[in-house]
Amino acid sequence: MTDAPDPLRIAAPALAAAVVAWLTRLRVERRLAARTLEAYDRDARQWLSFLAGHLGGAPDLADHAGLRTADVRAFLARRRADGAGSRTIARQLAALRSFAGYLEREHGLNAAPIRAVQAPRLKPSLPRPLSVVDARRVTEEAGEDAAEPWIAARDAAVAMLLYGAGLRIGEALAITATDVAGDTSVLRVTGKGGKVRLVPLLPAVRASLDDYRHRLPFRPGAGEPLFRGARGGPLSPRIVQRSLARLRGALGLPDTATPHALRHSFATHLLSAGGDLRTIQELLGHASLSTTQLYTAVDADRLIDVHRRAHPLGGEAAVADTAASVRRMNAG
């Protein structure tokens, strides 16, 4: 049985080289996340494979210049038939638009046919945070099954950063020894797109980090990741995910209790305690406030309570109407 041919080898050299140059620009200049780049690379290869069959031969730049909107829709329909969901389809269309824009700038090709294709409408998925009690249990018991005390301290420190500071797992694992050197209550975090933000560290989070640093048997260089695997290499996100999967099994938590759910819990619990959206947006590193606003739909109980206590026309009937409206909003 022979392996399937590489789509970049199926395409004519000029088009294959353009794909490589486009991905390189996304990585170097736009600093897209590694997972996004991997997804865009897969999308481009699937696109080239489709074109080879659709056009009956190796696609070239000239073929790309002659594409119609119907050709792009045929590709998306094929992906849908193969089982791709709406979010995958939307991401693949975004990748094609980005590539078409690159070809337009660098090779003068018309990107209008691809831009004309509408992406599927997506219903925003609401975050699924843990309760305050369950989030505390995770941070208190993370690493309990670890074979070494320093690994237990490591897992606890990572959980603390996710829930206590609202970091993404990639942001936490990218922290270097320099980032946490000295007695500081603020952490410098590099987020998506290379954007840097300052995140305050609660005393409990700082104490957990310090405990891990003191127990760590390795000495990472100044610019190297602080969190290490059992053999001393950089800690993999999969290790963190597997560790939390074992913990949620032991604690009887749902499958939605993932590392990212701890970040969701951080934001939701801040909002419940009266935190304003702009501050939470800054802490999370969201580029748009609309992303942070998803948490207002999660915290429906707080909206009802504020409405009841603050509105001059408050009363049981008003509260009931508000509750019904919020539930319809969350359901729809």
Marked catalytic residue, from 45, 192, 197, 213: 192
Quickly list DSSP for 86-123.
Answer: HHHHHHHHHHHHHHHHHHHHHH----HHHHTSPPPP-P
Mark whether 195 is an active-site residue: no
Identity at 10, one-letter amino acid code: I
Q: What are the residues facing 188 on neighbouring strands?
A: 198
Marked catalytic residue, from 79, 91, 168, 248: 168
* Secondary-structure breakdown of the chain: helix, strand, coil percentages, each rounded to the nearest 5: 60, 5, 35
Among candidate residues 9, 14, 12, the one with its CA nearest the CA of residue 103 = 14
User: In which residue are the tokens 């310090």 written?
Assistant: 210
Marked catalytic residue, from 40, 212, 295, 307: 295
What are the φ and ψ backbone dihedral angles of 84, each rounded to 5 degrees?
Answer: -70, 135
Identity at 254, one-letter amino acid code: P
Marked catalytic residue, from 79, 137, 263, 269: 263
Mark whether 168 is an active-site residue: yes
Inter-residue contact 266 to 166 (CB < 8 Å): yes
Mark whether 260 is an active-site residue: yes
Mark whether 286 is an active-site residue: yes
Rg (CA), the chain: 24
Inter-residue contact 261 to 298 (CB < 8 Å): no
Inter-residue contact 307 to 318 (CB < 8 Å): yes
CA distances from 118 to 59, 75, 76, 94, 241 (A): 24, 13, 11, 10, 35
Among candidate residues 180, 129, 127, the one with its CA nearest the CA of residue 157 = 180
Question: What amino acid positions are annotated as catalytic residues?
Answer: 168, 192, 260, 263, 286, 295
